Every structure is written in C-alpha cells, then in structure tokens.
Amino acid sequence: MSRKKKPNGDTLLDELRRRAKVFESEVEGETVPQDLSERTPTGIKGFDELIQGGLIKGETYIISGVSGAGKSIFSLEYLYRGASQYGEPGLYVTFEETMQSLLRNGRNFGWNLGDLFKKKKLMLVDFTLVTVGDKALSLNPEAFNLDGLYVTLETAVRELGIKRVVLDPISVLFLQYPNTGVIRRELNIISSMLRKNNCTSIFVTETGNEPNHITRFGVEEYLANGVIVLYWESENDKRSRYIEVFKMRGTAHYMGRRRLSITNDGISVIY
C-alpha cells in the first residue's frame, strides 16, 4: 500500500503517531488543557442545578429555540451574571438584534450594563443586518466577514481578558454563506481559539421546522459540547416556556423539560 505524503513530507502514519502521543500525554495528565471539574456557573436562577453547577469552562454551547423563546435574554443574562457576580468579563456579538434593543432589555431587567461597559467587564459588538425599509437584507458587508469575526474575538479575548462569549445568532452566518461546510469549519476554528483561551461560549441558533431538528440547519449541534433548547409553546390558547438540556458532554444533567419564566428579574427555571 502506498504511503501518502503530506505536504510537509510526513506520512499519514507520522501524523497518527503524533496525535496518539498527544492523547497519551493528555491521559497521563501532562497537557490536560483544563480541569474538567471546573465549571462556569451561568448565574441563571435554577439552571446551574440542572447541570452539576455550571457549564464546563472553555467549552462552546448551543442554545436553540423558536423566535421569542428567550435565547437572547438567556445569553445576555449569562454575560451579565458572569461580569457582575463571577468576575468574568463577557463579549456579546449580535448579528440580528440591535445593540439598542439589547440595552433596552437590560434596562427593563434592572441590569446596570452601562456600568459594566465602563469597567470593561462587558463588551457588545454590533454586526447587525443592513436594512432597507423594513427588510433585513444581509450582514453589514462593511463591518463583517468571517476573518473579521475571528480577529475581533481573538483580540477581545486576549487583550480584555474576556471569559464569556455569546454569538447571537450563528444561523445568520449559515444564511449569508450558503456553504454549510465552510461555516462549520470556521465556527470550529473560532470555537478552538475560544477553548484555548479558556472562554466559555454560547452560540445562539434557531430551532428548525424539520420535526427532528433541534437547530435550524441540523448541523450546529455538532459544533458544541452541549445543547440547551428553549421552548415557547401554545397550550390551551396560552403560551408556556420550557427549557431542556438536550446534550451536555461530561455532565450528569437533568433529563426532561423544566418550566421557564421571564420576569422583570430576568430568567428563572421553575421547580
């Protein structure tokens, strides 16, 4: 059998040996990148109890749900609690909802986001859509490309010591760039960079219309260490909110749905 040479002259076998070595040393505890028992509490009332105290530090999570399910409020509260209660600076990258609207939300919940901005504990980057009339057309091409996103995130994480990142919603990227493979690869690269910097991240996506899809494109969940689904369901002419931890690697999580509420105090899981 011929041995394929990689461009740098190594054979595939050399590459495999190298990878096995990395795995061995991780098993021996030499280069374990993080302590898996170390968790990042979201600070969202009633939620951390469902996931053994919090998200695993440095990992990426997907939050999905239909429009109005509470994804952005959940994500904003995750950053707000992180910055105000756990000393973890956060970065919110918004692709759809304007910064003004997010700030209005924060004000309604009594969160002093302005103070956190001033203290550089919270950063908001607005990559929202270009709109013509009431139609959103595309991401702002002046402000946005995927390399630009990577650089923005890396700079913020390294220079401002960001520990929590939200991208809301990544489904916009899938719509803007029809090659799903490219987006997955790019988001994986971003996710690895965030992991290396011990940043715990939430990528927001929408629930698809396909019956078994928990995400819009049916691929986003594979990017992530965990998937949280928010439901906003009509029951007897009334709508109710639920939350479900659909997948959470390395975690003995609660299985099933819990009621969720959004009040002027923010989000809470109801027991």
Ligand X SMILES: Nc1ncnc2c1ncn2[C@@H]1O[C@H](COP(=O)(O)OP(=O)(O)OP(=O)(O)O)[C@@H](O)[C@H]1O
User: Does the footprint of Mg ion cover residue 60 (CB under 5 A)?
Assistant: no
> How far apart are the C-alpha atoms of 271 and 258, rounded to whole Å?
7
**Segment near ligand X (CB under 6 A); pick from 46-54, 63-71, 132-140, 193-201:** 63-71
| Residue span 69-88 as binding mask against Mg ion, x where in contact by CB under 5 A, dash where not | ---x----------------
The interface with ligand X within residues 224-263 (CB under 6 A) comprises 262-263
Residue 112 or 155 having the CB closest to ligand X: 112
**Segment near Mg ion (CB under 5 A); pick from 40-48, 53-61, 66-74, 85-93:** 66-74
- Interacting residues of 167 by C-beta distance below 8 A, sequence separation 6+: 93, 95, 201, 202, 203, 204
User: Does the footprint of ligand X cover residue 264 (CB under 6 A)?
Assistant: yes
Count of residues of this chain found to bind ligand X when the rule CB under 6 A is applied: 15
User: Does the footprint of ligand X cover residue 42 (CB under 6 A)?
Assistant: no
Asked whether the bond before 89 is cis by omega within 30 degrees of 0, the reply is: no
User: Does the footprint of Mg ion cover residue 94 (CB under 5 A)?
Assistant: no
User: Does the footprint of ligand X cover residue 65 (CB under 6 A)?
Assistant: yes
List 50, 73, 139, 227, residue binding ligand X (CB under 6 A): 73
**Segment near ligand X (CB under 6 A); pick from 52-60, 70-78, 80-88, 248-256:** 70-78
DSSP secondary structure of 118-139: HTTSEEEEE-PEEEETTEEEEE
List 64, 72, 191, 200, residue binding ligand X (CB under 6 A): 72
Q: Which of 165, 168, 160, 126 is nearest to 143 (CA)?
A: 126
User: Does the footprint of ligand X cover residue 170 (CB under 6 A)?
Assistant: no
Q: Which of 246, 253, 210 is nearest to 231 (CA)?
A: 246
Task: Calculate the CA 221 to chain-centre distance.
Answer: 11
Question: Do the Cβ atoms of 106 and 80 come closer than 8 Å?
Answer: yes
Largest CA distance in the chain: 67
Q: Give residues in contact with Mg ion (CB under 5 A).
A: 72
